[in-house]
Structure 1
Amino acid sequence: MATKKVPKKASHGISPWHSSWEEMDKAFVNFRRDLEKSFSSFPAISIPRFPNIQETSCDVIDEGKQFRIKMNVPGVQKKDIKLNVTDNSIEVSAEHKEESEDKKKNYLRKERSHVSYFRTLPLSEKVVSGQTKAKLTDGVLDIILPKSKPTTVQTKKSVSVQ
Protein backbone atom coordinates (compact mmCIF):
# COMPACT_ATOMS: atom_id res chain seq x y z
CA MET A 1 0.00 0.00 0.00
CA ALA A 2 1.54 3.30 -1.09
CA THR A 3 1.44 6.25 1.25
CA LYS A 4 0.83 9.72 -0.01
CA LYS A 5 3.33 12.35 0.90
CA VAL A 6 1.57 15.51 1.95
CA PRO A 7 3.64 18.58 1.12
CA LYS A 8 4.32 20.86 4.05
CA LYS A 9 2.42 24.10 3.94
CA ALA A 10 4.43 27.28 4.09
CA SER A 11 3.54 29.12 7.23
CA HIS A 12 2.50 32.61 6.27
CA GLY A 13 0.52 33.30 9.42
CA ILE A 14 -0.17 36.76 10.70
CA SER A 15 2.62 37.90 12.95
CA PRO A 16 2.60 41.12 14.97
CA TRP A 17 6.27 41.64 14.10
CA HIS A 18 5.36 42.41 10.49
CA SER A 19 3.15 45.32 11.56
CA SER A 20 4.31 48.87 12.02
CA TRP A 21 4.89 50.26 15.49
CA GLU A 22 1.90 52.57 15.07
CA GLU A 23 -0.40 49.61 14.29
CA MET A 24 0.92 47.73 17.33
CA ASP A 25 0.45 50.80 19.55
CA LYS A 26 -3.17 51.14 18.33
CA ALA A 27 -3.77 47.42 18.91
CA PHE A 28 -2.58 47.64 22.51
CA VAL A 29 -4.65 50.77 23.18
CA ASN A 30 -7.75 49.06 21.72
CA PHE A 31 -7.06 45.87 23.72
CA ARG A 32 -6.71 47.85 26.97
CA ARG A 33 -9.91 49.84 26.25
CA ASP A 34 -11.88 46.66 25.48
CA LEU A 35 -10.53 44.88 28.55
CA GLU A 36 -11.41 47.80 30.84
CA LYS A 37 -14.87 48.00 29.23
CA SER A 38 -15.48 44.31 29.90
CA PHE A 39 -14.43 44.69 33.55
CA SER A 40 -16.70 47.71 33.98
CA SER A 41 -19.75 45.59 33.07
CA PHE A 42 -19.31 43.42 36.19
CA PRO A 43 -21.46 44.11 39.26
CA ALA A 44 -20.20 46.80 41.62
CA ILE A 45 -17.74 44.77 43.67
CA SER A 46 -14.13 45.53 44.45
CA ILE A 47 -12.29 44.48 41.29
CA PRO A 48 -8.70 45.60 40.85
CA ARG A 49 -8.33 47.96 37.91
CA PHE A 50 -5.46 48.86 35.70
CA PRO A 51 -3.44 51.84 36.92
CA ASN A 52 -4.64 55.13 35.52
CA ILE A 53 -2.09 55.68 32.75
CA GLN A 54 -2.88 58.75 30.72
CA GLU A 55 -2.51 58.70 26.97
CA THR A 56 -0.28 61.58 26.03
CA SER A 57 -0.66 63.48 22.82
CA CYS A 58 2.56 64.35 21.09
CA ASP A 59 4.02 65.80 17.93
CA VAL A 60 7.07 64.29 16.21
CA ILE A 61 8.75 66.76 13.88
CA ASP A 62 11.59 66.00 11.45
CA GLU A 63 13.76 69.13 11.36
CA GLY A 64 16.45 67.68 9.08
CA LYS A 65 19.37 67.57 11.52
CA GLN A 66 17.20 66.39 14.41
CA PHE A 67 13.84 65.12 15.54
CA ARG A 68 11.79 67.30 17.89
CA ILE A 69 9.11 65.75 20.05
CA LYS A 70 6.56 67.86 21.89
CA MET A 71 4.56 65.84 24.40
CA ASN A 72 1.80 66.93 26.77
CA VAL A 73 2.50 65.75 30.33
CA PRO A 74 0.33 67.93 32.60
CA GLY A 75 0.56 67.42 36.35
CA VAL A 76 4.16 66.21 36.52
CA GLN A 77 7.41 67.88 37.46
CA LYS A 78 10.74 67.43 35.69
CA LYS A 79 12.03 65.20 38.50
CA ASP A 80 9.12 62.80 37.78
CA ILE A 81 10.05 62.24 34.12
CA LYS A 82 12.24 59.39 32.87
CA LEU A 83 13.58 59.28 29.31
CA ASN A 84 15.23 56.21 27.79
CA VAL A 85 16.68 56.75 24.33
CA THR A 86 18.07 54.10 21.99
CA ASP A 87 19.42 54.76 18.53
CA ASN A 88 15.97 54.23 16.97
CA SER A 89 13.34 54.84 19.68
CA ILE A 90 12.50 56.87 22.76
CA GLU A 91 10.57 55.81 25.86
CA VAL A 92 8.96 58.50 28.00
CA SER A 93 7.46 57.72 31.39
CA ALA A 94 6.34 59.97 34.21
CA GLU A 95 4.61 59.42 37.52
CA HIS A 96 3.52 61.95 40.12
CA LYS A 97 1.71 61.25 43.39
CA GLU A 98 0.38 63.89 45.71
CA GLU A 99 -1.50 63.72 48.98
CA SER A 100 -2.95 66.60 50.93
CA GLU A 101 -4.61 66.28 54.28
CA ASP A 102 -6.41 68.65 56.55
CA LYS A 103 -4.58 68.03 59.85
CA LYS A 104 -7.63 68.44 62.09
CA LYS A 105 -8.74 65.67 64.41
CA ASN A 106 -11.99 64.91 62.55
CA TYR A 107 -11.08 66.03 59.07
CA LEU A 108 -13.82 66.05 56.49
CA ARG A 109 -11.58 65.83 53.46
CA LYS A 110 -8.40 64.00 52.52
CA GLU A 111 -7.30 64.14 48.91
CA ARG A 112 -4.87 62.13 46.85
CA SER A 113 -3.93 62.47 43.23
CA HIS A 114 -1.90 60.19 41.04
CA VAL A 115 -0.98 60.71 37.42
CA SER A 116 1.27 58.60 35.23
CA TYR A 117 2.28 58.57 31.58
CA PHE A 118 4.04 56.03 29.41
CA ARG A 119 4.82 56.21 25.72
CA THR A 120 7.31 54.51 23.40
CA LEU A 121 7.93 56.18 20.07
CA PRO A 122 9.82 54.48 17.23
CA LEU A 123 12.03 56.76 15.15
CA SER A 124 12.47 56.45 11.40
CA GLU A 125 16.19 57.28 11.51
CA LYS A 126 19.01 56.62 13.94
CA VAL A 127 19.75 59.28 16.55
CA VAL A 128 22.68 60.08 18.80
CA SER A 129 21.15 59.12 22.15
CA GLY A 130 23.91 60.75 24.22
CA GLN A 131 23.13 64.20 22.80
CA THR A 132 19.40 64.19 23.53
CA LYS A 133 18.08 67.30 25.27
CA ALA A 134 14.74 67.73 27.04
CA LYS A 135 12.98 70.69 28.63
CA LEU A 136 9.66 70.85 30.50
CA THR A 137 7.68 74.09 30.15
CA ASP A 138 4.06 74.55 31.29
CA GLY A 139 3.22 70.83 31.08
CA VAL A 140 4.78 70.37 27.63
CA LEU A 141 7.91 68.24 27.34
CA ASP A 142 10.15 69.38 24.45
CA ILE A 143 12.69 66.72 23.41
CA ILE A 144 15.43 67.23 20.81
CA LEU A 145 17.07 64.11 19.34
CA PRO A 146 20.02 64.83 16.99
CA LYS A 147 20.18 62.46 14.02
CA SER A 148 23.32 60.42 13.47
CA LYS A 149 23.12 61.17 9.71
CA PRO A 150 21.29 64.48 9.13
CA THR A 151 18.95 64.60 6.16
CA THR A 152 17.63 67.53 4.20
CA VAL A 153 14.13 68.67 4.95
CA GLN A 154 11.97 67.95 1.94
CA THR A 155 10.15 70.92 0.49
CA LYS A 156 6.43 70.65 0.03
CA LYS A 157 4.71 71.50 -3.23
CA SER A 158 1.04 72.32 -3.38
CA VAL A 159 -1.01 70.26 -5.83
CA SER A 160 -4.49 71.30 -6.86
CA VAL A 161 -7.22 68.70 -6.80
CA GLN A 162 -9.37 68.52 -9.93
Structure 2
Amino acid sequence: MTLVKFNPEKKNSSLLPGFNDIFESVLGDTFFTDRRLSSVPAVNISESNEEYHIELAAPGLKKDDFKVSVERDMLTISTGQHTENNSDGKTYNRREYSYSAFTRAFTLPESADIERIQAAYTDGILHLNIPKKEEAKAVSRQIEIQ
Protein backbone atom coordinates (compact mmCIF):
# COMPACT_ATOMS: atom_id res chain seq x y z
CA MET A 1 0.00 0.00 0.00
CA THR A 2 1.31 3.43 -0.94
CA LEU A 3 0.44 6.60 0.93
CA VAL A 4 0.19 9.77 -1.10
CA LYS A 5 0.45 13.08 0.72
CA PHE A 6 -2.12 15.74 -0.08
CA ASN A 7 -0.56 19.09 -0.89
CA PRO A 8 -3.22 21.86 -1.05
CA GLU A 9 -0.69 24.33 -2.47
CA LYS A 10 -0.07 22.21 -5.53
CA LYS A 11 -2.62 23.09 -8.20
CA ASN A 12 -2.59 19.88 -10.26
CA SER A 13 -2.84 16.71 -8.26
CA SER A 14 -0.95 13.78 -9.72
CA LEU A 15 -3.94 11.58 -8.83
CA LEU A 16 -6.48 13.56 -10.81
CA PRO A 17 -4.74 15.79 -13.35
CA GLY A 18 -6.93 18.64 -14.54
CA PHE A 19 -9.52 18.11 -11.79
CA ASN A 20 -8.71 21.38 -10.01
CA ASP A 21 -8.47 23.24 -13.29
CA ILE A 22 -12.08 22.38 -14.13
CA PHE A 23 -13.41 23.77 -10.87
CA GLU A 24 -11.22 26.85 -11.04
CA SER A 25 -12.43 27.62 -14.55
CA VAL A 26 -16.10 27.19 -13.59
CA LEU A 27 -16.00 28.90 -10.20
CA GLY A 28 -13.57 31.54 -11.42
CA ASP A 29 -15.96 32.58 -14.18
CA THR A 30 -16.98 36.24 -13.92
CA PHE A 31 -20.65 35.28 -13.58
CA PHE A 32 -20.00 33.36 -10.34
CA THR A 33 -17.29 35.71 -9.10
CA ASP A 34 -19.51 38.76 -9.49
CA ARG A 35 -22.34 37.06 -7.61
CA ARG A 36 -20.07 36.07 -4.71
CA LEU A 37 -18.50 39.51 -4.36
CA SER A 38 -21.64 41.57 -4.78
CA SER A 39 -23.70 39.83 -2.10
CA VAL A 40 -22.42 42.15 0.64
CA PRO A 41 -21.66 45.81 -0.02
CA ALA A 42 -18.24 47.20 0.80
CA VAL A 43 -17.83 49.36 3.90
CA ASN A 44 -15.34 52.02 4.98
CA ILE A 45 -15.16 52.83 8.70
CA SER A 46 -13.23 55.81 10.01
CA GLU A 47 -12.89 57.63 13.30
CA SER A 48 -12.16 61.19 14.32
CA ASN A 49 -11.98 62.86 17.72
CA GLU A 50 -15.67 63.77 17.44
CA GLU A 51 -17.35 60.79 15.76
CA TYR A 52 -17.24 57.46 13.98
CA HIS A 53 -18.09 57.48 10.27
CA ILE A 54 -19.40 54.54 8.24
CA GLU A 55 -19.68 54.60 4.43
CA LEU A 56 -21.54 51.70 2.80
CA ALA A 57 -21.39 51.42 -1.01
CA ALA A 58 -24.82 50.44 -2.32
CA PRO A 59 -25.42 52.01 -5.75
CA GLY A 60 -28.75 51.68 -7.50
CA LEU A 61 -30.85 51.82 -4.34
CA LYS A 62 -33.05 54.56 -2.90
CA LYS A 63 -32.91 55.87 0.64
CA ASP A 64 -36.31 54.25 1.30
CA ASP A 65 -34.79 50.82 0.54
CA PHE A 66 -32.61 50.93 3.67
CA LYS A 67 -33.54 49.99 7.20
CA VAL A 68 -31.05 51.22 9.82
CA SER A 69 -31.65 50.24 13.42
CA VAL A 70 -29.81 50.11 16.73
CA GLU A 71 -30.52 47.55 19.42
CA ARG A 72 -28.32 47.78 22.50
CA ASP A 73 -24.82 48.15 21.04
CA MET A 74 -25.58 46.56 17.63
CA LEU A 75 -26.05 48.77 14.55
CA THR A 76 -27.85 46.92 11.74
CA ILE A 77 -28.14 48.07 8.13
CA SER A 78 -30.38 46.05 5.83
CA THR A 79 -32.35 46.20 2.59
CA GLY A 80 -35.18 44.20 1.08
CA GLN A 81 -35.14 42.35 -2.20
CA HIS A 82 -36.26 44.19 -5.33
CA THR A 83 -37.05 42.62 -8.67
CA GLU A 84 -38.74 44.17 -11.64
CA ASN A 85 -40.65 41.78 -13.86
CA ASN A 86 -41.44 44.55 -16.32
CA SER A 87 -40.37 43.14 -19.68
CA ASP A 88 -42.09 45.74 -21.95
CA GLY A 89 -42.47 43.09 -24.65
CA LYS A 90 -38.71 42.60 -24.93
CA THR A 91 -36.96 39.28 -25.18
CA TYR A 92 -33.78 39.32 -23.12
CA ASN A 93 -30.72 37.23 -23.92
CA ARG A 94 -29.19 38.14 -20.57
CA ARG A 95 -30.81 40.05 -17.72
CA GLU A 96 -28.80 41.07 -14.69
CA TYR A 97 -30.83 43.91 -13.17
CA SER A 98 -31.94 42.85 -9.74
CA TYR A 99 -31.24 43.78 -6.16
CA SER A 100 -30.61 41.21 -3.55
CA ALA A 101 -31.22 41.63 0.15
CA PHE A 102 -28.33 42.13 2.51
CA THR A 103 -27.75 42.78 6.18
CA ARG A 104 -24.63 44.25 7.75
CA ALA A 105 -24.28 44.46 11.52
CA PHE A 106 -21.68 46.38 13.50
CA THR A 107 -20.98 46.32 17.22
CA LEU A 108 -20.75 49.88 18.47
CA PRO A 109 -18.23 50.82 21.14
CA GLU A 110 -19.42 52.11 24.50
CA SER A 111 -18.21 55.58 23.55
CA ALA A 112 -20.81 55.86 20.73
CA ASP A 113 -23.80 58.14 21.36
CA ILE A 114 -26.60 56.08 19.78
CA GLU A 115 -29.20 58.81 20.40
CA ARG A 116 -27.56 61.18 17.90
CA ILE A 117 -26.76 58.87 14.94
CA GLN A 118 -27.37 60.52 11.57
CA ALA A 119 -27.72 58.83 8.18
CA ALA A 120 -27.75 60.16 4.61
CA TYR A 121 -27.75 58.43 1.23
CA THR A 122 -26.03 60.29 -1.62
CA ASP A 123 -24.44 59.16 -4.88
CA GLY A 124 -24.84 55.45 -4.11
CA ILE A 125 -23.20 55.63 -0.69
CA LEU A 126 -24.96 55.41 2.67
CA HIS A 127 -23.20 57.73 5.15
CA LEU A 128 -23.64 57.16 8.88
CA ASN A 129 -22.23 59.59 11.44
CA ILE A 130 -22.08 58.21 14.96
CA PRO A 131 -21.08 60.92 17.45
CA LYS A 132 -18.98 60.06 20.47
CA LYS A 133 -20.18 60.74 23.99
CA GLU A 134 -18.68 63.87 25.53
CA GLU A 135 -16.66 61.94 28.10
CA ALA A 136 -15.17 59.73 25.37
CA LYS A 137 -13.85 62.54 23.17
CA ALA A 138 -10.10 62.84 23.20
CA VAL A 139 -8.98 65.86 25.17
CA SER A 140 -5.91 67.53 23.77
CA ARG A 141 -3.93 70.21 25.55
CA GLN A 142 -0.48 71.66 25.40
CA ILE A 143 1.71 70.82 28.41
CA GLU A 144 4.14 73.48 29.51
CA ILE A 145 7.67 72.30 30.19
CA GLN A 146 9.21 73.83 33.33
Q: CA deviation at 1:123?
A: 2.0
Give the counterpart letter for 1:102 in structure 2.
Answer: S
Q: Which residue number in structure 1 is paired with residue 98 of structure 2? A: 113
Q: CA deviation at 1:80?
A: 0.4
| Structure 2: runs of 5+ lacking an equivalent | 1-36, 141-146
1:99 to 84, 88, 93: 84
Match runs of 1:13-162 below 5 Å = 54-104=39-89, 107-109=90-92, 113-148=98-133, 149-152=135-138
Q: Which runs of 4+ in 1 moved over 6 A?
A: none
Give the counterpart letter for 1:80 in structure 2.
Answer: D
Q: 2:61 is paired with a residue of what secondary structure?
A: coil
Q: CA deviation at 1:61?
A: 1.4
Where is the strand percentage greater, Structure 1 or Structure 2? 1
| Structure 1: runs of 5+ lacking an equivalent | 1-51, 155-162
**Equivalent residues of 1:55, 1:117 under 8 A apart:** yes
Q: Which TM-score applies when normalising by structure 1?
A: 0.52
**Equivalent residues of 1:66, 1:144 under 8 A apart:** yes
Q: CA deviation at 1:138?
A: 1.4
In structure 1, C-alpha distance between the alignment counterparts of 2:62 and 2:98, rounded to whole Å: 14
Superposed CA deviations along residues 68-106 of structure 1, whole A, max 9, x for unmatched, are 1111112211000000124533111012413153344xx
Cα distance, 1:117–1:86 mapped onto 2, change above 3 Å? same
**Equivalent residues of 1:90, 1:122 under 8 A apart:** yes
**Equivalent residues of 1:131, 1:146 under 8 A apart:** yes
* CA RMSD between the two structures: 3.0
Cα distance, 1:103–1:75 mapped onto 2, change above 3 Å? closer
Aligned length: 104
Cα distance, 1:53–1:153 mapped onto 2, change above 3 Å? farther
